Amino acid sequence: MPSQLFVSIVEIGCFFALIALGYLIVLYGAGFFHFALGPYAMFSALGAAYWVTASEWPLWVAVVAGVAAAVALSVVTELLVVRPIEKRVRGEELPSLIAVVATLFAVSQLAGTVFGRKPFPGQPWMDFEDPIEWGEAVIGGQTVIIVGVTLAIFILLAAWLRWSRYGQWLRAVGENQEAARTLGFPVARIRLAAFAVGGLIAGIAGPLFSPKAGVNFESGLSYSLFGFIALVMGGTGSIWAPLAGGLILAALQIAASYLFGSPSLNYATLIAAALFFAFRPEGLFARRVRH
Amino acid sequence: MKSKAFKLWKSVALTALAASAVAALTFPAVPARAQDKSPIVIGMLEDTSGGASFYSQLTAGSIKVAIEEINAKGGVLGRPLKLIEESDANNPSQSPALVSRMIQNGAKVILLNSGSASAVASKKTLSEQKIPGLAPTNIDTRIGSAPDQEYSFMLPNPITDIGTIYAEAFKKMGVKTLGVISDDSPTIAGINGLLLPKIQAAGVTIVAQEKAPLDANDVTAQIIRIKEKKPDAVLVCSLGGQLEVLFENTLYQQLRKTPRFSLASIGNQPSTWKLAQPNALDGLVYAASIASNNPRSAALSKLLTAKQGAKFLGLTAYEAQGYDAVQLVKQAIEKAGQDDPTLIKTGLEHLSGYKPSFGSEKFTISFNPGKHIGTDGLCGLVLMQFKGNKPGAPFKTYQAACD
Amino acid sequence: MRQGGSAWVEPIVTLALAIAAMAAVHGSPYLEAVALLTCTYAFIALGMYLPFIMGGALSMAYNAYLGVGAYALALIAGRSDWDLAWSLPIGMLIAAATAVLLGFATRRLSGFYLAAVTLLFGIAFTTWLVDAESVTGGSGGLQGLRVPVFAGRPLSNSTLVMLTILAVWIVALALSRLRNSPFGVAVRARRRAAIAVESCGIPVSTLTLVSLGLGAAVSSVGGSLFAVANHAILPESFAVDLVFLCIFMPLLGGQDRPWGAVLGAILVVTFTFQLTFFKETGSLFFSLAVLLVLVIAPRGVLGYVLIGLQKLWKGTRGGETRHG
């Protein structure tokens, strides 16, 4: 396979990995699949692009504003949607699922209303005059930034989970909220932290990736969906599992496009997801249950 | 004694009746009988948010300028023109209902300013309800051809003309093999169906044909597949916008030395040029419609600069054709003597020798009952070539002749 | 407990409403187009009602089920001499088989997985529609479908509208009856207490798969009608975002009865298409309304209307009727 395609795999894989990481954090802290993360990433990217293009803000201000918006949306979702519903229907998971799907749609429509329905180009974070040539492949400046920021986020988050108070609590709570509450953990605050951090990661991922091909208000759905598949493929056993899952999914998609033509991307994703769901839903790096 | 269930269903019925009363109130009232000074309503089907919005809004802008200009001079038959708009978001399955709605709201003529596929989808509705429709910028030949074309008109050179011109250009350049990359919109599917056979009939072999969805964020795999077939030239068939920028960026990266051709899209969408990577558009040949020797183009350019200020980025086919479409409708209504749709249609069919603001200086537009495609000849098209990321000079190798 | 005579109230009142709807749209091409669109949406909503509202399983491949029915009809109309009615059973079979297969792959996983894999399928289906040009006509779709013959004459649009409204009424009534049948009770119980259902000897996953299949089949009928109404179909009509609106229809309209799904379809089409005030913000308003319903008012419009009127009736009768 031509080396240029590996560059594409790394770029796309990092993006999926970040979204999957967001899912993992919220799963750890609230036992919940945060399907609305994709639109938060989209909102941040679209907002940043809009504020740079139409409002003529400097890039850094726009990106920070986008990230802040993503965090705010995530926190609001937890406080106003997920928490009240989970309280009302203890045990039944369908209402929360519907609610987060409704949120996914609502955030997309909100972005479309506020920023307009036309696609916007992403804004590169740095101006690189000459792309790097590596053998036959050409590596643009934004690609280097994508890889750098992704690794930085993973490393920082791994450190946070291990050494900070909230990070350790997050790992302890996991999916057993009741037990954690009985043991005296501040479950409500931990959940909030999880949602906030999930939103933060998504908020950074959006503007990071959008310079590649732009963003529009409907982009969030595929971000959410592929991020979820990346999470499932990687598994929940390690903080680095989403990175593996993201790269694997990206490799699958690009290889399918290259070998069989562009439509195979969606067929391959469907088949791979169905196979993983049916035979290995715990993913590659499964969380080992302590007996 | 009436049961509780009966009472419940009675209340359901009452609620539903109330709801339908509300619904009825949201329907527009039947338009009042036409009086001397009441506006003549023109409907515009457009795209404000989908894949065709890049060009639809350019056209809409100049349509509105044209209507404003006409109204400032007293309107048509002493009556002002009123524009009503509906956006189908480039989804042709919505177009017939939206056209029906505009007709219900009093439109006597419809300007079809969304994608080609939307115009094709609207033909039947127009012919059933006997309302004439004119497509200012769509190039799908089917719009002006049977079946159901009695009330359907199109203004620009159809895609088959672009096919003829490119086939000649390829012959002159010695291009024998072609790689084609397209988007997956219905408009482009229709256009490719008419364009590619014409090119193949001229002896060019299509060695690679790839597609990308409108929301693709990476097309490297498709471009590499084309690269491996080593075509003499590459043709980009796209609605334009961001996706075409992505195509061109990737082609520049992977196939820099291969001659590149586009349709009428990116070349006519100035807002997208700065989105391309530095120099990525250099050498790209496209079908423009603005010739430097046409005084009407220059005049329109001045008018739009005055009216639109900094938003106006230079005259393209889209603005020119939108403006001309309004002028043609005005003349048709004047010929008809009243705003009766069937008479307006007949009026359109008797327009000839109109000198448009696009194309070469000698280029004309005319319709007749058997000819619903307006262009008289090929020189409504000018092949232009990019220099850097801006249009440079007309393509030296080949130009369509004006007869 | 319902008294014997009241079993006829539901069919009669709803039939009266259906006939009123037919009369209201007759004669206006635009209103007829809106009515057909509403009926298509109603079929999807009703198709979702069984597995989703009753059974608690969220399948998001409804654009595909609709598309299967539509393309079945279009292919039969365009490429064969068969009677167009064959598209109904063929479409229903394919749609049901697909739904069962997808449900089977995720039968031991939480609802999120079913949602994800069915959403992926919905996307892959749209991709396939554009890709498989020789079968589906590609992005250009299939045009110029032959008009079905009904009672010896080509089917006119007005007749089609009436038949479609009637079809919606029949399906909704059937689902309403099904809801109170042993099968329906079991499906509803699975949503609340799967363990209890299992212990009664009814295998939960089979129940779910059957309801998923039936729901898909209902939606595919809507697809066939959509194709007949438009004389042409395009892949764009079956895009995945259709599914979001369709989830919200039964929720907004009211979960208690299938009529809520129909009401939801009317609300969706009105808000996103009809009310010019809302125009582009219609979908946003609509999605916020759904969130509001989920958090605060889970019984939906119809549910609260019925409860409110129940209370009113109870108040005026001095408590004679039993609350339930």
Shortest distance, CA A272 to any CA of chain C (angstroms): 10
Residue bearing the bigger pLDDT, A242 or C131: A242
Suggest the residue from B126, B149, B184, B194 to mutate for an interface test with chain C (most C CBs closer than 10 A). Answer: B184
Residue bearing the bigger pLDDT, A151 or C109: A151
pLDDT average, residue stretch C9-33:
85
Name the pLDDT band for C1 (thresholds 50, 70, 90): very low
C2 burial class (0-12, 13-18, 19+ CB within 10 angstroms)?
Answer: middle
Cβ distance of A119 and B242 shorter than 8 Å:
yes
A86/B214 Cα distance (integer angstroms) = 38
The neighbour count for residue A83, using CB atoms within 10 Å, is 18
A138/C13 Cα distance (integer angstroms) = 69
Residues of chain A positioned with their CB less than 8 A from the CB of B210: 261-262
The top-scoring range by mean pLDDT among A197-211, B212-226, C248-262 is A197-211
Give a yes or no: residue B336 inside a domain.
Answer: yes
pLDDT in tens, A186-216: 888 899 999 999 999 999 999 999 888 788 8
B358/B297 Cα distance (integer angstroms) = 6
A150/A14 Cα distance (integer angstroms) = 6
Domain of residue C78 covers: 4-239
For chain B, give the percent of residues with pLDDT over 70: 91
Give the contacts of C7 (CB within 8 A, at least 6 positions apart).
Answer: none
- Pairing between strand B40-46 and B109-113? parallel
Name the pLDDT band for C323 (thresholds 50, 70, 90): very low
pLDDT of residue C70: 92
The CATH number of the domain where B249 resides is what? 3.40.50.2300
**3-state secondary structure at position B114:** coil
pLDDT of residue B28: 47
Query: Using an 8 Å Cβ cutoff, are B301 and B294 in contact?
Result: no
Give the residue carrying structure tokens 């979820």.
A228
User: Does B390 share its domain with B247?
Assistant: yes
**3-state secondary structure at position B133:** strand
Query: Using an 8 Å Cβ cutoff, are C83 and C235 in contact?
Result: no
Residues of chain A positioned with their CB less than 8 A from the CB of C113: 232, 277, 281
Residues of chain A positioned with their CB less than 8 A from the CB of B213: 262
Residue bearing the bigger pLDDT, B175 or C11: B175
Q: Is C111 on the interface with A (CB under 8 A)?
A: yes
Domain A3-279, what fold?
A: ABC transporter involved in vitamin B12 uptake, BtuC (1.10.3470)
Query: Using an 8 Å Cβ cutoff, are B180 and B232 in contact?
Result: no
Nearest to A86 by CA among C295, C142, B154: C295
pLDDT in tens, B49-97: 777 888 899 999 999 999 999 999 999 999 999 999 998 888 787 888 8
Nearest to B326 by CA among B158, B159, B155: B155
User: Does B329 share its domain with B344?
Assistant: yes
pLDDT at A150 over 60: yes
A61/C300 Cα distance (integer angstroms) = 42
C267/C261 Cα distance (integer angstroms) = 10
Name the pLDDT band for A181 (thresholds 50, 70, 90): confident
Give a yes or no: residue B30 inside a domain.
Answer: no
pLDDT of residue C239: 82
Chain B neighbors (3+ CB pairs < 8 Å): A, C
Domain of residue B303 covers: 40-157+294-372
Name the pLDDT band for C193 (thresholds 50, 70, 90): low
Cβ distance of A2 and B224 shorter than 8 Å:
yes
pLDDT of residue C133: 84
pLDDT of residue B43: 97
Instruction: Count Cα atoms within 13 angstroms, Cβ side, for B26.
Output: 16
Shortest distance, CA A235 to any CA of chain B (angstroms): 26
Give the residue carrying structure tokens 């349509």.
B63
pLDDT of residue A290: 45
A72/A66 Cα distance (integer angstroms) = 10
**3-state secondary structure at position B211:** strand
Give a yes or no: residue C28 inside a domain.
Answer: yes
Shortest distance, CA A128 to any CA of chain C (angstroms): 36
Residues of chain B positioned with their CB less than 8 A from the CB of C138: 189
Q: Is C311 on the interface with B (CB under 8 A)?
A: no
Give a yes or no: residue C30 inside a domain.
Answer: yes
Task: Describe the strand order of the beta sheet including B205-212 as a list of residue ranges.
Answer: B205-212, B177-183, B233-237, B260-262, B285-288, B382-387, B390-394
Cβ distance of B11 and C306 shorter than 8 Å:
yes
B307/C57 Cα distance (integer angstroms) = 57
pLDDT in tens, B123-165: 988 998 999 999 999 998 889 988 789 999 999 999 999 999 9
Suggest the residue from C274, C278, C309, C323 to mutate for an interface test with chain B (most B CBs closer than 10 A). Answer: C309
End-to-end Cα distance, chain C: 9
For chain C, give the percent of residues with pLDDT over 70: 83
pLDDT of residue B403: 60
Chain A interface, Cβ < 8 Å to B: 2, 4-5, 7-8, 11-12, 112, 116-119, 121, 129, 138, 209, 212-214, 216, 218-219, 222, 254, 257-258, 261-263
List the domain boundaries for chain A: 3-279
Residues of chain A positioned with their CB less than 8 A from the CB of B245: 121
The top-scoring range by mean pLDDT among B211-215, B306-310, B331-335, C127-131 is B331-335
| CA-to-CA separations, A245 to A9, A263, A267, B359, C34, in angstroms, rounded | 12, 21, 18, 54, 45
pLDDT at A20 over 80: yes
Query: Using an 8 Å Cβ cutoff, are C66 and C223 in contact?
Result: yes
Residues of chain B positioned with their CB less than 8 A from the CB of C322: 4
Give the residue carrying structure tokens 């289906």.
C125
Q: Which residue of B has its CA nearest to C310?
A: B8
pLDDT average, residue stretch B390-396:
89
Q: How many domains does chain C have?
A: 1
Cβ distance of A269 and C120 shorter than 8 Å:
yes
Give the contacts of C64 (CB within 8 A, at least 6 positions apart).
Answer: C95, C98, C121, C122, C125, C126, C238
Give a yes or no: residue B196 inside a domain.
Answer: yes
Cβ distance of A213 and B246 shorter than 8 Å:
yes
Tokens of C98: 């697909």
User: Does B142 share its domain with B76?
Assistant: yes
Give a yes or no: residue B153 inside a domain.
Answer: yes
Give the contacts of C279 (CB within 8 A, at least 6 positions apart).
Answer: none
**3-state secondary structure at position B286:** strand
Read off φ and ψ for residue C150, nearest 5 degrees: -130, 125
Tokens of C80: 């064969």
pLDDT average, residue stretch A92-96:
78
**pTM of the predicted structure, to 2 decimals:** 0.84
Give the contacts of A164 (CB within 8 A, at least 6 positions apart).
Answer: none
Q: Is A126 on the interface with C (CB under 8 A)?
A: no
Mean of the per-residue pLDDT values of chain A: 88
Nearest to B218 by CA among C204, A6, C277, C197: A6
A76/A89 Cα distance (integer angstroms) = 19
User: Does B191 share its domain with B83?
Assistant: no
Shortest distance, CA C171 to any CA of chain B (angstroms): 18
Cβ distance of B19 and C266 shorter than 8 Å:
yes
B64/B322 Cα distance (integer angstroms) = 9
The neighbour count for residue C201, using CB atoms within 10 Å, is 6
pLDDT average, residue stretch B228-238:
95
Q: Which residue of A has its CA nearest to C57?
A: A94
